[in-house]
Structure 1
Amino acid sequence: MREKLKRIAVMTSGGDSPGMNAAIRSVVRTCAYYKIECIGIYRGYQGMIEGDFINMTARSVNHIIHKGGTILKSARSKEFMTKKGRQKAYKNLIKHDINALVVIGGDGTFTGGVVFNKEFKFPVVGIPGTIDNDIYGTSHTLGYDTALNTAMEAIDKIRDTASSHNRLFIVEVMGRDAGFIALNAGVGAGAEEILIPEENLGLDRMLESLKKSKSSGKSSSIVVVAEGDKSGKTVFELADYVEENLPEYEVRVSVLGHMQRGGSPSCFDRVLASRLGVKAVELLIDGKTNIMVGLKDNQVVSTSLEKAIKGIQEINMELLRVSDIMTT
Structure 2
Amino acid sequence: MGSKIKRIAVFTSGGDSPGMNAAVRSVVRTCAFLKVDCLAVYRGYQGMIEGDFVTMDARSVNNIINKGGTILKSARCDDFRTKEGRKMAYDQLIKAGIDAFVVIGGDGSFRGALKFNEEYNFPIIGIPGTIDNDIFGTRYTLGFDTALNTVVEAIDKIRDTASSHNRLFFVEVMGRDVGHIALNAGVGAGAEEVLIPELDLGLERLLDSLKRSKKSGKSSSIVVVAEGDKIGKNVFELKEYVEEHLPIYDVRVSVLGHMQRGGAPSAFDRVLASRMGVKAVEAILEGKSNLMVGIMDSKITLYPIDEAIMGHTKIDKELIRVSDIMST
User: Does TM, normalized by the shorter one, top 0.5?
Assistant: yes
**Aligned AA for 2:219?**
S
Q: How many percent of aligned residue pairs carry the same amino acid?
A: 72
Aligned to 1:34: 34
User: Is 1:48 aligned to 2:48, yes or no?
Assistant: yes
- Secondary structure of the corresponding residue to residue 116 of structure 1: helix
Equivalent residue runs for 1:118-129 within 5 Å: 118-129=118-129
User: Is 1:285 aligned to 2:288, yes or no?
Assistant: no
Equivalent residue runs for 1:186-197 within 5 Å: 186-197=186-197
Deviations, residues 35-70 of structure 1 (Å, cap 9, x unaligned): 000000000001100111100000000000000000
Aligned to 1:98: 98
CA distance, structure 2, for counterparts of residue 231 and residue 57 of structure 1: 50
Aligned to 1:274: 274
User: Is 1:304 aligned to 2:301, yes or no?
Assistant: no
Aligned to 2:148: 148
Tell me by how many angstroms 1:3 deviates: 4.2
Aligned to 1:239: 239
CA distance, structure 2, for counterparts of residue 49 and residue 154 of structure 1: 39
- Secondary structure of the corresponding residue to residue 29 of structure 1: helix
Deviations, residues 214-245 of structure 1 (Å, cap 9, x unaligned): 00000000000000001111111110001001
Aligned to 2:323: 323
Q: How many residues align?
A: 328
Aligned to 2:7: 7
Aligned to 1:71: 71
Equivalent residue runs for 1:255-270 within 5 Å: 255-270=255-270
Tell me by how many angstroms 1:295 deviates: 0.4
Matched-pair contact (CA < 8 Å) for 2:3–2:286? no
Aligned to 1:25: 25
**Aligned AA for 1:154?**
A
- What is the TM-score normalised by the length of structure 1? 0.99
**Aligned AA for 1:290?**
N
Deviations, residues 115-161 of structure 1 (Å, cap 9, x unaligned): 01111000000000000000000000000000000000000000000
**Aligned AA for 1:48?**
M
Tell me by how many angstroms 1:201 deviates: 1.1
**Aligned AA for 2:286?**
D
- Secondary structure of the corresponding residue to residue 198 of structure 1: coil
Matched-pair contact (CA < 8 Å) for 2:8–2:101? yes
CA distance, structure 1, for counterparts of residue 134 and residue 314 of structure 2: 9
- What is the TM-score normalised by the length of structure 2? 0.99
CA distance, structure 2, for counterparts of residue 289 and residue 127 of structure 1: 12
**Aligned AA for 2:166?**
N
- Secondary structure of the corresponding residue to residue 117 of structure 2: helix
Equivalent residue runs for 1:218-257 within 5 Å: 218-257=218-257
User: Is 1:210 aligned to 2:242, yes or no?
Assistant: no
Matched-pair contact (CA < 8 Å) for 2:126–2:293? yes
Aligned to 2:138: 138
**Aligned AA for 2:15?**
G
Unaligned runs of 5+ in 2: none
CA distance, structure 1, for counterparts of residue 223 and residue 126 of structure 2: 35
Tell me by how many angstroms 1:2 deviates: 3.5
CA distance, structure 2, for counterparts of residue 87 and residue 198 of structure 1: 40
- Secondary structure of the corresponding residue to residue 138 of structure 2: coil
CA distance, structure 1, for counterparts of residue 184 and residue 203 of structure 2: 21
CA distance, structure 2, for counterparts of residue 180 and residue 270 of structure 1: 20
CA distance, structure 2, for counterparts of residue 275 and residue 3 of structure 1: 21
Tell me by how many angstroms 1:326 deviates: 1.0
CA distance, structure 1, for counterparts of residue 203 and residue 30 of structure 2: 51
CA distance, structure 2, for counterparts of residue 83 and residue 204 of structure 1: 50
